[in-house]
C-alpha cells in the first residue's frame, strides 16, 4: 500500500477565533478542590513529565494496586513500547475490589437509567462496588465454566445496560480479552470481527431499547453465527441477557441465559494477576482500507493512563458528591476509557444511560442531568448540534445548576456549537474540555485541564502530561505557527496501542512509516501563536460521521456487494448535525433501472452490511465516475459535486469532461 502524497500547505485554517475563556474564578470554590489550578502549574508539571517521564509515570502508577511492582517503567524500541515491565496488576481489581478493600464497598459505582419511561418514571439502578465485585466474580466464574481461559477473546455485543460494563470487567477479572462491538453494527460486522479475533464466546442480550424500539441483538448474533458456520467457524457459546423480553430463537447447547449462568456461579473469583503487557482488549475501528482493524490495548499502561486523564481532565474527586456522565456507548473507545476503566478507579459514580437523547422527548438528557445532579458531563459535537437544532427551551426547562465541567470529543467542534454549549448548558460557568484523542491513543492526548487552561472555541488547546504532540511536515520538522501539517506524537505514552491484531505490517504502515519514529495520528492540525492545537480533520480516506470513524472503502465495498452495482465511490459531505455525512456515487449494472426505490434498497443494503451509521445520506446514480487518464477516481471532484460547490479543482486530467456535467445532474430528487 502506498501512502497518498500529502501537501501540508493544502490544510488551511479558515478559523480566526479570538474569544478566550479563563477558568471561572469561582471554579475552585465550586469544585471544592482542583488538581491543577493554574496555567503555570500545568506548565511546571508538563515540563517535568516530558523531561523525566519515568519519575512522572511512577508516581501515578503507584496510586494504583499492583500484585508485583514493575522492574522498568518503560522499554522503548520504536515503534514498540512496553510499560511497567515486569509488573503485575488487574484492572478490574483496581476499578472494583480495591474500593471494597478500602471500605467503600457500599458506595455507588454505577448509576444506570433505562430508556423506557412509564408513570413512575424511568427505571433506575444503582450498583455499588460490592455489587460489581459480586457480579463480575459470578460472570467471571460462569465464563470460565464455558471454557474461557486467560488470553481468549470474548465478544460483547450488548445494549447500554450495567451488564455491559460488568461483562467487560468480568473478562478483565479472569484475564480474558474483550472485543466490544457497538450494538448498532450489523450481523456481517459481528461475523467479521469474531473471525478476525478468533473469538468463541459471545455475550449479548435478547434486545436493546433504542428510541422506543427494540434492537434485535440476539437475532443479529444468530445471523452472524450462521455466516460463521458457513465459513466453518464455530461459536461455542452465546450468553444472553434478558432485557426486552422480545421473542428470540434458541439453540440448545450453544445459547445460555445470563441470569441462569450467573445465579449458579460461585461468588469467589479472585482477579487474575496479569502481566502489565497482557492484552486487555481489542477494539475494532475503521481505517483507509475496507477491513476494520483490531486495535490492541494492554493492561498496565492503559490502566494508569485512563485513570489519570479521567482524574485531571474531569477533576474527579471521590467523596464530594460528584456524579459523572459520559453519554457515549461502551461500544466505542470513549465508553471503554471514560465510562468504565478511567472512571471507576477514581471512585466517582459513573452514570450510564440506555437510550436515545430524544426519547420520549428532546429534553431527556437535561431531565437526567437534573434528576441525578450530574456534575461532569461529556458528550460529542454532533449531539450538541442536534440539541441546538431542537432548541434551547428543552434545556431551559431543567435545573442544570449541578453542572461544573463540560466535555466534548469525537470531532472538531464548530465555535457556534461550543458557544451554545457554554451558554445554554454550562450557564457560562463551566469550563469546556475539548478532548482530542483516538481509539489508538487509549485516552486523552490534547485537552484543556478545567481549572488551569484558558479555552478558545474550536481548539483542543494543549497536550496532556507526558504527551509530546507536534505538528510536522513529512520530514518530521515542526511547522511554524499557524501552518498546517501532520499531527504526530514523538514519544511513547502508557495508553498507546500496542498493535493491530494479527497485522504487524498494517500497524507499521498506518502509523509509523509516514514520519520516522513518530506516531502519525492521521489527522491534519496546526498550532497557533500560543501553542494551542487546532485539529483540521482526517488526512486519509476516513470520514468522521457523528464523531464515529468510517472508512470510505468499507462503505464502497458494501455497495459493490449489491448485485445491481458495478462501481461506487464514497466521499464525505458537510452535514448540519453529523458534521460529515456520506455521499455515494454509484454506477449500475446495465440490467438495473435507476429509481428512488433502488436508492433506498442500496441504503438498506449498506445498513445490513455495516450498520445504520454507515447509511449514505446521498446516493447518486451515474453512468460513469470521474477518473484521471490513469484510471484513478477523482475524489476531490466528487466532494465538490456532493457539497454542491463549484469546483476549483484542475480538471485537465479528467478522462471524460462530460462526466462532470452528468454528475451534477445526478442529484437525488
Tell me which residue of 602, 606, 605, 617 sits closest to 572, measured CA to CA.
617
One of 42, 56, 66, 436 touching ligand PRX (CB under 6 A) = 436
Tell me which residue of 502, 543, 519 sits closest to 510, measured CA to CA.
519
Instruction: Decide: 649 and 660 in contact? Cβ < 8 Å.
Output: no
Closest distance of CB 408 from ligand PRX, Å: 6
Closest distance of CB 337 from ligand PRX, Å: 8
**Could you give the C-alpha distances from 632 to 39, 94, 159, 613, 637, in angstroms and in order?**
49, 52, 41, 27, 12
One of 209, 437, 465, 585 touching ligand PRX (CB under 6 A) = 437
* Stretch of 210-218, 352-360, 493-501, 519-527 contacting ligand PRX, by CB under 6 A: 519-527
Q: Using the minimum distance from each CB to ligand PRX, give the nearer residue, 410 or 492.
A: 410
Site for ligand PRX in 525-544 (CB under 6 A): 535, 538, 544
One of 89, 133, 334, 618 touching ligand PRX (CB under 6 A) = 334
Strand partners, 80: 77
One of 409, 496, 500, 573 touching ligand PRX (CB under 6 A) = 409
Instruction: Decide: 389 and 577 in contact? Cβ < 8 Å.
Output: yes
Closest distance of CB 338 from ligand PRX, Å: 9
Strand partners, 461: 533
Asked whether the bond before 360 is cis by omega within 30 degrees of 0, the reply is yes
Q: Where are the alpha helices (DSSP H) in 291-392?
A: 300-313, 333-335, 364-372, 381-390
Residue 448 binding ligand PRX, by CB under 6 A: no
Closest distance of CB 331 from ligand PRX, Å: 11
d(CA 556, CA 586): 9
Give the 3-state secondary structure of residue 331.
coil
Q: Specify the DSSP element, H or E, that contains 171.
A: helix 162-174
Tell me which residue of 161, 187, 332, 359 sits closest to 244, measured CA to CA.
161
Q: Using the minimum distance from each CB to ligand PRX, give the nearer residue, 538 or 635.
A: 538
Q: Using the minimum distance from each CB to ligand PRX, give the nearer residue, 163 or 554.
A: 554
Residue 88 binding ligand PRX, by CB under 6 A: no
Closest distance of CB 63 from ligand PRX, Å: 24
One of 37, 188, 299, 439 touching ligand PRX (CB under 6 A) = 439
* Stretch of 84-92, 516-524, 581-589, 616-624 contacting ligand PRX, by CB under 6 A: 516-524
C-alpha grid cell, residue 151: 488470553
Q: Using the minimum distance from each CB to ligand PRX, give the nearer residue, 528 or 655.
A: 528
Tell me which residue of 565, 36, 4 sits closest to 315, measured CA to CA.
36
Distance of CA 656 to the CA centre of its chain: 41
Residue 182 binding ligand PRX, by CB under 6 A: no
* Stretch of 362-370, 506-514, 515-523, 568-576 contacting ligand PRX, by CB under 6 A: 515-523
Residue 549 binding ligand PRX, by CB under 6 A: yes
Q: Using the minimum distance from each CB to ligand PRX, give the nearer residue, 221 or 525.
A: 525
Q: Which residue is nearest to ligand PRX (CB)?
A: 439
C-alpha grid cell, residue 176: 480474558
Distance of CA 24 to the CA centre of its chain: 29
List contacts with ligand PRX (CB under 6 A): 285, 333-334, 409-412, 434-439, 460, 521-523, 535, 538, 544, 548-549
Amino acid at each position: 500500500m502506498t501512502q497518498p502524497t500529502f501537501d501540508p500547505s493544502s490544510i488551511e485554517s479558515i478559523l480566526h477565533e479570538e474569544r478566550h475563556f479563563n477558568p471561572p474564578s469561582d471554579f475552585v470554590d465550586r469544585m471544592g478542590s482542583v488538581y491543577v489550578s493554574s496555567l503555570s502549574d500545568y506548565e511546571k508539571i508538563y515540563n517535568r513529565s516530558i523531561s523525566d517521564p519515568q519519575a512522572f509515570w511512577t508516581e501515578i502508577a503507584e496510586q494504583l494496586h499492583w500484585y508485583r511492582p514493575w522492574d522498568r517503567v518503560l522499554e522503548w524500541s520504536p515503534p514498540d513500547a512496553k510499560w511497567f515491565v515486569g509488573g503485575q496488576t488487574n484492572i478490574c481489581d483496581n476499578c472494583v475490589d480495591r474500593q471494597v478493600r478500602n471500605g467503600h464497598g457500599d458506595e455507588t459505582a454505577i448509576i444506570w437509567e433505562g430508556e423506557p419511561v412509564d408513570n413512575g418514571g424511568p427505571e433506575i439502578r444503582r450498583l455499588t462496588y460490592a455489587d460489581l465485585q459480586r457480579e463480575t466474580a459470578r460472570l467471571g466464574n460462569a465464563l470460565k465454566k464455558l471454557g474461557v481461559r486467560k488470553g481468549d477473546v470474548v465478544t460483547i455485543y450488548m445494549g447500554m445496560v450495567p451488564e455491559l460494563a460488568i461483562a467487560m470487567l468480568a473478562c478483565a477479572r479472569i484475564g480474558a480479552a474483550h472485543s466490544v462491538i457497538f450494538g448498532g453494527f450489523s450481523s456481517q460486522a459481528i461475523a467479521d470481527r469474531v473471525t478476525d479475533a478468533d473469538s468463541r464466546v459471545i455475550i449479548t442480550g435478547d434486545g436493546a431499547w433504542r428510541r422506543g424500539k427494540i434492537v434485535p441483538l440476539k437475532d443479529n448474533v444468530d445471523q452472524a453465527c450462521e455466516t460463521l458456520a458457513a465459513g466453518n467457524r464455530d461459536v461455542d457459546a452465546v450468553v444472553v441477557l434478558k432485557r426486552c423480553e422480545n421473542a428470540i430463537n434458541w439453540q440448545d447447547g450453544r445459547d445460555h441465559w445470563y441470569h441462569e449462568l450467573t445465579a449458579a456461579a460461585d461468588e469467589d473469583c479472585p482477579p487474575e494477576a496479569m502481566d502489565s503487557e497482557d492484552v486487555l482488549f481489542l477494539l475494532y475501528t475503521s481505517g483507509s482500507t475496507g477491513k476494520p482493524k483490531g486495535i490492541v490495548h494492554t493492561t498496565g499502561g492503559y490502566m494508569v493512563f485512563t485513570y489519570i486523564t479521567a482524574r485531571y481532565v474531569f477533576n474527579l474527586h471521590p467523596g464530594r458528591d460528584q456524579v459523572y456522565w459520559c453519554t457515549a456507548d461502551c461500544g466505542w473507545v470513549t465508553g471503554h476509557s471514560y465510562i468504565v476503566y478511567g472512571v471507576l478507579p477514581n471512585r466517582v459514580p459513573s452514570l450510564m444511560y440506555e437510550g436515545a437523547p430524544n426519547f420520549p422527548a428532546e429534553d431527556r438528557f437535561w431531565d437526567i442531568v437534573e434528576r441525578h445532579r450530574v456534575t461532569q458531563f461529556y458528550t460529542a459535537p454532533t449531539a450538541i448540534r442536534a440539541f441546538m437544532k431542537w432548541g434551547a427551551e428543552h434545556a431551559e426547562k431543567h435545573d442544570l445548576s449541578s453542572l461544573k465541567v463540560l466535555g466534548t470529543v469525537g470531532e472538531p467542534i464548530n465555535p457556534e456549537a461550543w458557544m451554545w454549549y457554554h451558554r445554554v448548558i454550562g450557564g457560562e460557568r463551566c469550563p469546556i474540555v475539548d478532548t482530542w484523542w483516538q481509539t489508538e491513543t487509549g485516552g486523552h492526548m490534547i485537552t484543556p485541564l478545567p481549572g488551569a487552561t484558558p479555552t478558545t472555541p474550536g481548539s483542543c488547546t494543549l497536550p496532556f502530561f507526558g504527551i509530546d504532540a507536534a505538528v510536522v511536515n513529512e520530514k518530521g520538522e515542526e511547522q511554524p505557527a499557524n501552518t498546517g501539517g501532520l499531527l504526530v506524537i514523538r514519544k511513547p505514552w502508557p495508553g498507546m496501542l500496542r498493535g493491530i491484531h494479527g497485522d504487524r505490517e498494517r500497524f507499521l504502515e498506518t502509523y509509523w512509516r509516514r514520519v520516522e519514529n513518530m506516531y502519525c495520528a492521521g489527522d491534519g492540525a496546526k498550532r497557533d501563536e500560543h501553542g494551542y492545537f487546532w485539529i483540521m480533520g482526517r488526512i486519509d480516506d476516513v470520514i468522521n460521521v457523528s464523531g464515529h470513524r468510517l472508512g470510505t472503502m468499507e462503505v464502497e465495498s458494501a455497495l459493490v456487494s449489491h448485485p445491481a452495482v458495478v462501481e461506487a465511490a464514497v466521499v464525505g459531505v458537510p452535514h448540519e448535525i453529523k458534521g460529515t455525512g456520506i455521499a455515494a456515487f454509484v454506477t449500475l449494472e446495465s440490467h438495473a433501472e435507476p429509481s428512488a426505490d433502488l436508492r433506498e434498497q442500496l441504503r438498506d443494503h449498506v445498513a445490513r452490511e455495516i450498520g445504520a451509521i454507515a447509511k449514505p445520506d446521498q446516493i447518486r446514480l451515474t453512468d460513469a465516475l470521474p477518473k484521471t487518464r490513469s484510471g484513478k477516481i477523482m475524489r476531490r471532484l466528487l466532494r465538490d459535486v456532493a457539497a454542491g460547490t463549484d469546483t476549483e479543482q484542475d480538471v485537465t486530467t479528467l478522462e471524460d469532461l462530460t462526466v462532470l456535467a452528468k454528475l451534477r445532474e445526478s442529484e437525488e430528487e
